[in-house]
Amino acid sequence: MEKKINLIVEVKDKNLRLDVFVNKKENDLSRTRVKNLILEKKLKLNNKILTEPSKRISTGDTIDLTIPEPKTASLKPFKYNLDIIYEDSDLIVLNKPSGIVMHPGAGNFDNTIVNALINHDKNSLSNIGGELRPGIVHRIDKNTSGLVVVAKNNQAHEHLSKQFSNHSIKRVYQLLVWGKTRPSKGKIQTLITRSSKNRQLMEVSKTKGKKAITNYKTLEVFENENIPTFSLIECKLETGRTHQIRVHMNFLGNSILGDDKYKKKYKKIKNIDGLLEKNLKNLNRQFLHAKIIGFIHPRKNKEMIFDSILPKDLEIILKMLRNSGK
């Protein structure tokens, strides 16, 4: 059923952004959800449709927001063996392998995590994220593996979305990069925006984009005369921008092994072990794994933290690098 919300701006809220104000007044709506509703022309400011989430409001402004009845997804189920780590009546935590996208999009409407979730239980997914994204609260890239949380109802979706918006979700990644990071640990804080040369890519900018913060530290360095230098890195995200870790590592000068979009050229090693070289060349994904995810459960109101092991293809490379100096 369609829902109507009517608000009047008080003195204490003047000059707030429109989306921030609505989010503040309506705790059940995440800021991302409010922003999308505004962009979909579902909000009137002083009886006029507005499509600017960042618009500053004034005392006495009237706001009328229409929340349409969510559409039911009409997607095909996909028989796929989901690696479900945890499931209850509110959410699912699953370990996504590389090579599969999260939701339908251009060129692929059937073989996605969403289609697999519909096959798993089509009647238990949130439906406020859009017709093509039932249950999807956040995403990881096609060629990234690791943990994601899925909402099974709209209340859980809003609760989890708000945690992502507030940057309170715990997200830890492991990755293997070329070379050694300098310094070996630190905080990368930049703006990230669409690339001016390729709209499918992102880049660091000094003047525009969204704030992106990545905390990183070196866990292990692999360096001897028989191999290229690699570093095993742990990244903790404070924000979750598109391709954030990949862009930030490339910004440091240490692109991720197997990343075919954000990469630098490195010297060839003449005496590299043949089997190791084969495994490095045949890695058809980036060495990037979402290892840990933690959040407050929407209903139980307690912290839940989940951990995962590296996939076999990544663990094999690490094992070979560790044995290369022996």
Please give the average per-residue pLDDT across 302-322, as a whole number: 96
> Residue 265: which residues within 8 A CB-CB, separation 6 or more?
none
For the chain, give the percent of residues with pLDDT over 70: 97
Are residues 298 and 155 in contact, defined by beta-carbon separation less than 8 angstroms? yes
Q: Calculate the alpha carbon distances from 92 to 46, 50, 167, 326 in Å.
A: 41, 36, 20, 42
- Give the residue numbers annotated as catalytic, written as ranges: 141
Per-residue model confidence as pLDDT tens digits over 201-255: 999 999 999 999 999 999 999 998 888 899 999 999 999 999 999 999 999 999 9
- The rounded mean pLDDT for the chain is 92
Report pLDDT digits (tens) over 139-195: 999 999 999 999 999 999 999 999 998 899 999 999 999 999 999 999 999 999 999
Q: Which pLDDT belongs to residue 27?
A: 75
pTM: predicted TM-score of the whole model, two decimal places:
0.82
> How buried is 4 (Cβ within 10 angstroms: 0-12 exposed, 13-18 middle, 19+ buried)?
exposed
| Domains identified in the chain and CATH numbers | 3-67 (3.10.290.10), 84-165 (3.30.2350.10), 170-324 (3.30.2350.10)
pLDDT at site 72: 59
The answer, yes or no, to whether residue 109 has pLDDT greater than 70, is yes
